[in-house]
Structure 1
Amino acid sequence: MATSVQLSPEAEERLDFLASRTGRSKSFLLREIIECGLDDIEDYYLAAEVLERIRHGQEKFHTASEMRWDLALDD
């Protein structure tokens, strides 16, 4: 899937430098950046959604002390 991305001049310069130093193509590096960063971005945005549901009382949760009690960790 082809996608167009506009980078800041600074990011473009850094990407050019890294490509020339490593002998890898900019396309390769961008794929790596996206694939590695996608997990972090997914985690962040999905966690933010859950936090909003918790704040609005739409998501059930358990406190740490409840979990310790349920698991009999507080002897």
Structure 2
Amino acid sequence: MTTTVRLPKDLEERLARVAKGTGRPKSHYLRSLLEENIERLEWEAKLEEKVADIRAGRRRTYSLDEVEAELDLAD
């Protein structure tokens, strides 16, 4: 699959320098960065969904008192 990414000029220049210096294509580094960070990006996206659900009242939340009582941790 081919994907086009627009980078700011300074970032493009830095990426090009790294690629040139190592003899690897820029796509190698972009793919590597995605592979190393995709799980974190997916986690953040799910977290944002949960926050939106909480704010919209679609997700139940619990007070500290409720959690402590449920876990029998209340003083």
For Structure 1 versus Structure 2, the TM-score category normalised by the shorter chain is 0.7 to 0.9
Cα-to-partner distance string for 1:42-73 (whole Å, 9 max, x where unaligned): 22222122111111211012334433332234
Give TM-score scaled by structure 1 length: 0.72
Report whether the alignment pairs 1:70 with 2:45.
Answer: no
The within-5 A match list for 1:4-19 is 4-19=4-19
Report whether the alignment pairs 1:35 with 2:30.
Answer: no
User: Where in structure 1 are there 5+ consecutive unaligned residues?
Assistant: none
Offset of residue 74 of structure 1? 4.2
Report whether the alignment pairs 1:46 with 2:43.
Answer: no
**Whole-angstrom distance in 2 between the partners of 1:62 and 1:72:** 15
Identity of aligned residues (%): 35
Given the superposition, is the C-alpha separation of residues 63 and 22 from structure 1 closer, same or farther in structure 2, using an over 3 Å criterion? farther
Report the aligned-residue RMSD. 2.1
- The runs of at least 4 aligned residues of structure 1 exceeding 3 Å deviation read none
